[in-house]
Amino acid sequence: MRRSTFTVLALSLATAPALAQGGDATCPRDVVVAQSMQRQALDQLEQAELSDIAKSCRVWRRHVDTMRRVAAVYGRCLSGGERNAGLAQVQGSEKEFAEAIRTRCKGQ
C-alpha cells in the first residue's frame, strides 16, 4: 500500500501546475500551500512506525484529513486535465488510507 501511494504522491507533486487557474484571487497561494501539505503528508507516511498500530492510525487519519483539504483546493483552483489528475491522485490516496483505517484501526 505505502509504495504505490508514495509513487503517486511524488508524481503528483512533480507534475503539479505552477499557477492555479481558478477564478479565486487566492488560488495561486492556496495551491502552493496545498502542495506543501501534500509533501508533508508524504513525509509523515514515510516516517510512520508501522509496528505501532496506534501511531500508524493517527498518521493515517491525519493523512486522510490532509488529502481531503488538498482535494478541496484542487477542486476550487485547478481546471481541465490538471484538476482531474490532481483530484484523482489525492482522492485515491484518501480512499486507500480511509479503507486501511476502517480495516486496521478498530478501537484505535
**Mean pLDDT in residue range 63-76:** 96
Are 20 and 30 in contact by the 8 Å Cβ rule? The answer is: yes
Q: Residue 106: what pLDDT? A: 82
**Mean pLDDT in residue range 1-27:** 55
Q: Residue 5: what pLDDT? A: 53
**Mean pLDDT in residue range 16-21:** 47
φ and ψ of 55, to 5 deg: -65, -40
Q: Residue 15: what pLDDT? A: 44
Question: Mean pLDDT over all residues of the chain?
Answer: 83
Q: Residue 25: what pLDDT? A: 87
Cell output for 5: 501511494
Question: What angle is formed at CA 49 by the lines to CA 48 and CA 51, rounded to 5 degrees?
Answer: 145
More confident residue, 3 or 54: 54
